[in-house]
Structure 1
Amino acid sequence: MLLPDLEIFRTSLTCPVAAAALRERLLRGLPDGARVSFDLDDCDRVLRVHTPGRPLDVARVVATLRESGYLCEPLPD
């Protein structure tokens, strides 16, 4: 499912090292100029993915984290 160019996800990540590795993995599959950030201090351990001017494949982001053993779901607006 393709959505607008910014999406915020709830995750189960707690480790900054794992977050950094997943950030790099996500960026490899996103268009040039994409930005990925984690806020592990937030109660939802937020993942923000921004693909300026391009739609975002939410299912692909969710699958990438789930394949690595983490919960990942879009936060409602």
Structure 2
Amino acid sequence: MIEVFCTNITCKNQAALILQKLSETFSNCHFNFDLEDCDNILRVESKNRTINVDSIVNIVRDSGYQISILEDI
């Protein structure tokens, strides 16, 4: 399963902090940012489980950033 989020995270240091928090909380998921994209994409992939979207959103928002699911068109 893959989920893609739009964020307002713009620099590598910010992304690294969020990636660390998410990886510590969700060891079964792989996370990465595409800060070159205009939507500052956070991509989450899980091979064996569903992705807890609400918890991911809460972690990012609690860290002071904006995040929303990027809907398929």
Q: Distance in 2 between matches of 1:51 and 1:31?
A: 10
Q: Give 1:18 shift.
A: 1.0
Task: Calculate the TM-score normalised by the size of structure 1.
Answer: 0.88
The one-letter amino acid of 2:62's match is E
**Is 1:40 aligned with 2:35?**
yes
**Per-residue deviation, residues 5-59 of structure 1 (Å, max 9, x unmatched):** 2100000001101101110110111133x21000111000000011112100000
Alignment of 1:1-77 (within 5 A): 5-32=1-28, 34-77=29-72
What count of residue pairs does the alignment treat as equivalent?
72
Q: Distance in 2 between matches of 1:70 and 1:52?
A: 26
Gaps of 5+ in 2: none
Q: Distance in 2 between matches of 1:15 and 1:60?
A: 22
Equivalent position SS for 1:56: coil
Q: Verify the 8 A CA contact 1:31 1:51 in the aligned structure 2.
A: no
Percent of pairs with identical residues: 36
Gaps of 5+ in 1: none
